[in-house]
Amino acid sequence: MGRASRDDRPKPVAICSPVAASESENLRGSRIQLAAKEILAQAARPDRWGTLALMDISLRYRRTVIGPLWITLTLAATIASVGTVYAALFKQDIATFLPSFAVGLIVWTLIATTLQEGSNIFVASGHLIKAVPAPLIVHVLQMIARNVLIFAHHLVIVVLLYVVMPWPLHWSMLLALPGFAILFLALLGGSVALGMLCARFRDIGSAIVSGLQFVFFLTPIIWTEDSARGTAFHWLTLVNPFATLLDLVRRPLLSQPTDAKQWLLGALYAIIVAVIGLGCYAKYRHRVAYWL
């Protein structure tokens, strides 16, 4: 009886038993739980990442007289010049258009800057990630805290605009706080997801910068929702998540009403982005150091 040929030998068959599948699901669930606990534990330490953000700003603007207010002055000049021109072009009342444009541009600056820096956060912090055994989320929280502090400087422009062009004050202005919390959650999840993606594929960072410039013109900042009403562009305000998240902060600050649909959509967008960011953080946070 001849020896069986190599091709005739029985081949092993991979069998995925219910027990193995259950163990895989449990492992995935525990991985997500550990990632969530790590993020919450670090988020509860603002003394750590807040101090790092202050140090970052002080080092960046060392030996300057007014520090980050230079950015605020540049933004104020942009608002005054561009806002005046577009108010004339669109035949808008400048007392109504300029505050809306100013607050919209200030919030958009926070969004765009955070997402751009977030996409590069792990690459830019590569030397620290390799040298210091700290959770990766600390770098993201530090970056967002730095941009929030600069955003707070920009709010001086809103106060000055109110002095020059006052609008009615209403208790609903306090709704800007939960609106900002929703925006913060979306920026945190988006920064984590984009940071992981761009650490693995470096070219995506440039695409994000270009994409945000395109989205800026599709978001009602230099144009208003009322001016687009009845046109093909009005649907952009309904399907654009950036417009929804931006309005949850802008409209309360201007004492303008917000409906339940906007809040539900904004919360839904933020939760979806946060879940994506959590999934990326749970699966890839231990690989980032090898990608840098």
Q: What is the pLDDT along the chain (292 residues), one digit of tens a residue?
A: 445 445 555 554 444 444 444 545 555 668 889 999 999 999 999 988 999 998 888 887 777 777 778 888 999 999 999 999 998 888 888 988 999 999 999 999 999 999 999 999 999 988 888 888 889 999 999 999 999 999 999 999 999 999 998 888 888 899 999 999 999 999 999 999 999 999 999 889 889 999 999 999 999 999 888 777 777 777 777 789 999 999 999 999 999 988 899 999 999 999 999 999 999 999 999 999 889 8
**How do the domains of the chain map onto residue ranges?**
38-291
Give the C-alpha separation, 250 to 248, whole Å.
Answer: 6
Q: Which residues contact 19 (CB under 8 A, 6 or more apart)?
A: none
The overall pTM is greater than 0.75:
yes
pLDDT of amino acid 234 = 75
In Å, what is the CA distance from 95 to each residue of 22, 124, 215?
A: 62, 42, 26
pLDDT of amino acid 22 = 53
52-57 CB contacts, 8 Å cutoff, 24+ apart: 52/138, 52/142, 52/145, 53/142, 53/143, 53/145, 53/146, 53/149, 54/149, 56/142, 56/146, 57/146, 57/149, 57/150
pLDDT of amino acid 8 = 55
pLDDT of amino acid 25 = 54
pLDDT of amino acid 1 = 45
pLDDT of amino acid 29 = 64
pLDDT of amino acid 142 = 95
pLDDT of amino acid 42 = 92
